[in-house]
Amino acid sequence: MTKLSVNINKVATIRNARGGNIPDVVKVAVDCELFGAEGITVHPRPDERHIRYSDVYALRSIIKTELNIEGYPCASFVDLVAKVRPTQVTLVPDAPDAITSNAGWDTKKHFDLLNELVDVFKEQGIRTSIFVDTNPTAIEWAAKAGADRVELYTEPYATQYPIDKKNAVAPFVEAARLAKNLGMGVNAGHDLNLDNLAFLNQQIPWLEEVSIGHALIADALYLGLKETITAYKQQLISK
């Protein structure tokens, strides 16, 4: 079964809007695990507009499943990952002021940087994933850099899904197959939701993990967190 990692950035966004500690990011993470999530994802940015570095340190000893820290590998981010030692780090090429991630790495252009980072994190026992588009060249150079996994940027799939789901998923199936043949695990994330998740999961039987935040937290406003996590996990059962 594909693992569900819940991205709790949006919970931190709500907290930061008023100050204080409501909602409690750490408690929400613990509850997500209690309700069945197999991992927690955080994406700290330099301006700490949602997840703060202090949140990541607080989560370090609390998370019992898998902690995935994603983000752009600036010096402070690399230092954070080295100190926290999460299960997984996901390298994302977003600018510091980006609202959300909107593209995968040009892994050939940035090969030296990525290769060096993968070596550093592997020495620390941290599984390393590189955020990529479906471009075969990007996946091939991610493998050359030594990545354990790639995370497929699924916004194009989500956008086209309501129009033509078979054509929408086709390049992702091919990209996932290439990654698998190159010896890497396959994760996926961005704009996945209760409408489009099951089909993606069925078409890529070897998909290892999905990271979902915005849609899941939005659904939880209506369904409740426990019911929402149960609903997302149901989408990941059938292969």
54, exposed or middle or buried, with CB in 10 Å at 0-12, 13-18, 19+?
exposed
Residue 190 near residue 137, CB atoms below 8 Å = no
Which pair of structure tokens corresponds to residue 188? 């996926």
As a whole number of angstroms, the distance between CA 142 and CA 233 comes to 29
Of 50, 190, 208, 209, catalytic: 190
Residues 6 or more apart whose CB falls under 8 angstroms from that of 81 comprise 69, 89, 121, 126
Selecting among 66, 70, 151, 209, the annotated active-site residue is 70
Q: What is the dihedral of CA 100, 103, 107, 113, to 10 degrees?
A: -20
Q: What is the dihedral of CA 49, 158, 3, 84, to 10 degrees?
A: -20
Q: From the candidates 43, 50, 66, 209, which is the catalytic residue? A: 43
70 is known as an active-site residue: yes
Q: Please list the active-site residues.
A: 43, 70, 190
